[in-house]
Amino acid sequence: MHNSYTTKLAGLFLLIYVLVYAGALVAEVVINSDASVDHYLKAGWRDLLAAFPYATIVAAIWIVVAYFFHQNMIDAVTGGESVTRQQQPRLYNLLENLCISRGIPMPKLKIMNSPALNAFATGLNRRQYSVTVTTGLLAALKDQEIEAVLGHELTHIRNGDVQLMVIAVIIAGVVGFFGELFFRMFTNFNWSSSGSSSSSSSRSSSSSDGDSKGSGGGAVIVVIIAIALIMLAWLLSQVVKLALSRSRELLADAGSVELTKNPDAMISALRKIENRGELPGATSAVMELCVDNPREGFADLFATHPSVDSRVKALVKFAGGHDPGPLALPSPLDEGTEQRPDRPPARPAPEEQPPPLPGSPAQSDGARPAGLSANMSRGPWGPRG
């Protein structure tokens, strides 16, 4: 299994050179727009061999920088801040108890100020591991559900998923960077001037059919090939990330149940998080690390996470949990006005009571009808106006 993922990451790295080759083809067309397809392909290959060491150095620098500073980059995007036991005793104790129960090193704990319901783990080694939780998740979930989410993230750390995903995001970022660079170069190039020069050269060489096939037409074909290679490299980078993430989310759910022995807590946590995990301003790379990524690609083909329904069904099938179905989060107003079984029905305000009859106990008391104390004139939010 490990070798399979290593192979996928190596293939992801090779996509960088596919992009370099595509860029070399475009550069050859810019330099000489009046050559044959075969000439462009051979010249592009020579350019790739010449640029190979430079592309490798740039990619290596990118990976080294991301290796040491990826957490700082993520914190800059999400606003996550490290917290201590004194600042977040509830959350800190839940995470510490899970780590102690399984002998897991305690990762750093971070809080992200966001109403979204989500969490994610990051880090490439033991010193870097951290778990980030949103304030919205803390407010909406019960302790057992928060513990299940923390167990999910700890499983990602235990299984090595965090390292794989961070590396995949880093390399995919290189692919995306080169792809966008070449795409911008292609779109910003003044093709009209190039086209006029190629047309003039084609007129001067129109005496030969072979020359007419090589002039202009070959450049267009090669440009189409370059665009196709750029699109293919980007598409394959997304497919590799999907292969690394989708199956591992299901394994992390199962690992959380193994840690907490509470499948119902994981299921109810997923149901509450469902469609409420969008982090405003977060990049797609950050969302791919989260418990749930509500962002979906075309026809769900590029969704990095399985649907909550499929994850819940897997837990019910293999862990024996109970699915309550989609859950609605109670608002603070709903919680404050919720009727309790021991609460008597609301009574009308004193001014709405009919006036007491002469000679009744309430008339002799002179204040309010019998049986209505001063406290009973208060509504659920305090004295009535």
d(Cα 210, Cα 208) in Å, to the nearest integer?
5
- By CB atoms closer than 10 A (0-12, 13-18, 19+), residue 119 is buried
d(Cα 3, Cα 9) in Å, to the nearest integer?
10
Smallest Cα–Cα separation from 324: which of 278, 253, 275, 269?
A: 269
Q: Which residues pair with 358 in a beta bridge?
A: none
**Catalytic annotation present for 153:** yes
E runs forming strands in the chain? 81-82, 108-112, 119-122, 130-134, 378-379, 382-383
d(Cα 99, Cα 151) in Å, to the nearest integer?
9
Smallest Cα–Cα separation from 270: which of 137, 160, 174?
A: 137
Smallest Cα–Cα separation from 248: which of 135, 130, 168?
A: 168
The catalytic position among 28, 153, 274, 288 is 153
d(Cα 67, Cα 71) in Å, to the nearest integer?
9
Angstrom CA distances, 229 to 44, 61, 189, 241, stand at 13, 24, 18, 18
Q: Which residues form the catalytic set?
A: 153
